Amino acid sequence: MDKLKHILLSRNVILALILVLLGSIFIGYVIPQQFTTSEIDLEEWKHINPLFAVLTEALGLHHMYTTPWFVVLLMIFLFILLLSTFEQVKYSHRATFGAGDKEVGHEVKVYIAHEQLLSTLKKAGYVKTFQDAIITRFIIHPWGYWGNVLLHLGIVVLVISSLVLVITEQRGLLHLVEGEMYRSGDPWLLEQTGMLADQFILPVSVRLDKVDVDYWETDDVRHISTVVSFIDKEGGSRQYHLGINKTVNSRGLRVYQGRTYGNSFYVEFKDKNKREFPLIIQIDHPRKRDKAGYGNFFVEGIPFEIKAKYYADAKKASMSGNDPLLVIRLVTIEQVLKGISQKKSGTKPQLNVETEKMETIAGEVSLGLGESGTLGPYTAMLVHVSRWSEIIFVQSSGMTGIFTGFIIIITGACFTYFIPPREFHARKTGNGYSVSWKASRFEKFYESEFEEIVKRLEPTVRS
């Protein structure tokens, strides 16, 4: 058992483990990760890098941080860290309260009464931490010996809390239009749940009551805020104000204001036979007053792709979005032949058929609120415009642990690098003491401390 402990705590094993973790993070950076990359982009990357793609698929490198082997690696790291923390507690306890090393450094003889020794060292900021018949030990900043313990303990707390968070977290994202209600249990626009988390079902229904957006004179967004109502099963309702950096905590949930928002356009399509096709077009808000926001849509029964864009203001004079201009295009998309070429694959000749997309515009119309116009074989009318906004719901545990871990790490690092402990040993010899001194770190900076203390004990010094 001791041998195993010795191996696990050997400096080389720890260093190797840190390097493997570092390497894994680097691979996670180089290889696109599925939680930050779209499926299309990931496929494209695999297509461009066929050799890496095989390895990536086999080892799950495209979801590095959720692969079993990475979790195992993290567990080993955590175990060793725990073991090391425990060993360091023992060491720090010994270093703080024990008799210390027999040989501490260059010894100087002083003929001085015990009380005088105590008062001189007290004045210099040294605390008596140990005394027996022979040895008296003083330390300045004795808690500095606990810096490494805290550093390692902090990392343990941080990693455990992060794991708890990752495997239990539930996140749901919604795009709600003003007045729209999201009922508890409805599907999310986007849902992310940890390995051990159930499907994320809100305990309440949510209605978006209002969206407000302020702009700088440069057209950049100054502030986004929304008013949402939580409606419980009994029909009771409570209103909350959300904003960027202004979250709401309620019923164990944290609710965040998302960064994306825009306008929702209710457009009524009618064909020649007066058949109606209601369409709701939801588009991201334009970034500038003279720029448009874009979106492409398909509607059942309409054999065209609908390409839409809108300007925040029909006159392009403001960003308010109160008088937007919607432009709709009906487009047919066909794959047309671009060319045929012949290439040899092994011994067999192969035909290579190249096609390209060709768009044909079947109709285009610009609509202000309440306006109608002809759009190819349809008439289109903009009936209503309202705002939509992104709202994020999170249910998680572990965040307190993560921040506690961070605080412990910082405290540990401060203890280690700002306040290195220095020891002063006094060994009883006849009618005086042999005194010596050492610093746990950065001895070069504090050498003069010992000289100054010894000077204060003069003229009784006999070196």
Partner 1 sequence: MNNPALIDTGLHWIAVIIYAIAAVYNAVGVIFNKEKAERRSYHIAVTGLLIHGIALVYRWIAAGHGPYMVRYEVLSSNAWVAMFLFFIFVKIFPKIRQASIIMFSATFLLIAISVFQNPALKKVPPTLNSIWLVLHVIFIKISLGTLLIGLAFSIFYVMKKRTGIHWLQRLPDIETMDAYAYRFAGFGFIFWTNATVSGAIWAYQSWGRFWGWDPIETWSLMTWIFFGIYLHLRRFFGWNGEKAAYFFMLCFVMSIISLFFVSLIETSIHSEYFTEE
Interface positions, 37-96, toward partner 1 (CB under 8 A): 65
Binding mask 182-221 for partner 1 (x = CB under 8 A): ----------------------------------x-x-xx
| Closest CB 86 distance from partner 1, rounded Å | 17
Name the 3-class secondary structure at 299: coil
Residue 105 binding partner 1, by CB under 8 A: no
183 secondary structure, DSSP code: P
Residue 25 binding partner 1, by CB under 8 A: yes
Binds partner 1 by CB under 8 A, chosen from 55, 195, 333, 410: 410
Q: Write the CA distances from 152 to 399, 401, 408, integer angstroms.
A: 19, 14, 9
Binds partner 1 by CB under 8 A, chosen from 109, 128, 141, 254: 254
| Closest CB 302 distance from partner 1, rounded Å | 35
| Closest CB 403 distance from partner 1, rounded Å | 7
Cα 132 from Cα 154, distance rounded (Å):
35
Cβ-based neighbours of 144, under 8 Å, separated by 6 or more: 415, 416, 419, 420, 421, 440
Residue 7 binding partner 1, by CB under 8 A: no
Binds partner 1 by CB under 8 A, chosen from 19, 113, 201, 333: 19
Tokens of 189: 């626009």
Phi, psi of 364 (to 5 degrees): -145, 140
Residue 294 binding partner 1, by CB under 8 A: no
Long-range contacts of 309-318 (CB under 8 A, 24+ apart): 309/283, 310/263, 310/265, 310/283, 310/286, 311/286, 312/285, 312/286, 313/289, 314/368, 316/289, 316/290, 317/289, 318/289
* Of residues 141 and 427, the one with the C-beta less far from partner 1: 141
* Of residues 384 and 403, the one with the C-beta less far from partner 1: 403
| Closest CB 161 distance from partner 1, rounded Å | 10
Q: Write the CA distances from 270 to 280, 326, 367, 375, integer angstroms.
A: 14, 17, 15, 10
| Closest CB 361 distance from partner 1, rounded Å | 31
Which of 100, 87, 90 minimizes the C-alpha distance to 129?
100
| Closest CB 230 distance from partner 1, rounded Å | 17
Interface positions, 339-358, toward partner 1 (CB under 8 A): none
Binds partner 1 by CB under 8 A, chosen from 137, 171, 285, 329: 171
| Closest CB 64 distance from partner 1, rounded Å | 9
Binds partner 1 by CB under 8 A, chosen from 26, 69, 79, 294: 26
At position 400, the amino acid (one-letter code) is T
Residue 8 binding partner 1, by CB under 8 A: no
* Of residues 383 and 399, the one with the C-beta less far from partner 1: 399
Residue 244 binding partner 1, by CB under 8 A: yes
At position 217, the amino acid (one-letter code) is E
Cα 241 from Cα 121, distance rounded (Å):
59
* Of residues 118 and 221, the one with the C-beta less far from partner 1: 221
Neighbours of 324 (CB within 10 A): 24
Binds partner 1 by CB under 8 A, chosen from 5, 6, 16, 29: 29
* Number of residues forming the site for partner 1 (CB under 8 A): 51
Q: Are the C-beta atoms of residues 200 and 171 closer than 8 Å to each other?
A: yes
* Of residues 144 and 376, the one with the C-beta less far from partner 1: 144
Binds partner 1 by CB under 8 A, chosen from 234, 245, 343, 458: 245
Neighbours of 373 (CB within 10 A): 15
Name the 3-class secondary structure at 238: strand
Binding mask 390-409 for partner 1 (x = CB under 8 A): --x-x----x--xx--xx-x
| Closest CB 1 distance from partner 1, rounded Å | 23
The per-residue b/e assignment along 104-114, b for 16 or more CB within 10 angstroms, e otherwise, is bbeebbbebee
| Closest CB 418 distance from partner 1, rounded Å | 8
Residue 174 binding partner 1, by CB under 8 A: no
Neighbours of 262 (CB within 10 A): 25
Which of 131, 142, 95, 141 minimizes the C-alpha distance to 433?
131
Candidates 228-236, 237-245, 325-333, 375-383 — which segment interacts with partner 1 by CB under 8 A?
237-245
The per-residue b/e assignment along 180-197, b for 16 or more CB within 10 angstroms, e otherwise, is eebeeeeebeeeebbeeb
Cα 316 from Cα 366, distance rounded (Å):
14
Cα 142 from Cα 421, distance rounded (Å):
5
Cα 215 from Cα 319, distance rounded (Å):
7
* Of residues 31 and 385, the one with the C-beta less far from partner 1: 31
* Of residues 242 and 302, the one with the C-beta less far from partner 1: 242
> Would you tell me which residues interact with partner 1 (CB under 8 A)?
11, 14-15, 18-19, 21-22, 25-26, 28-29, 33, 35-36, 65, 148, 162, 171, 216, 218, 220-224, 243-245, 247, 254, 256, 259, 392, 394, 399, 402-403, 406-407, 409-410, 413-414, 416-418, 441-445
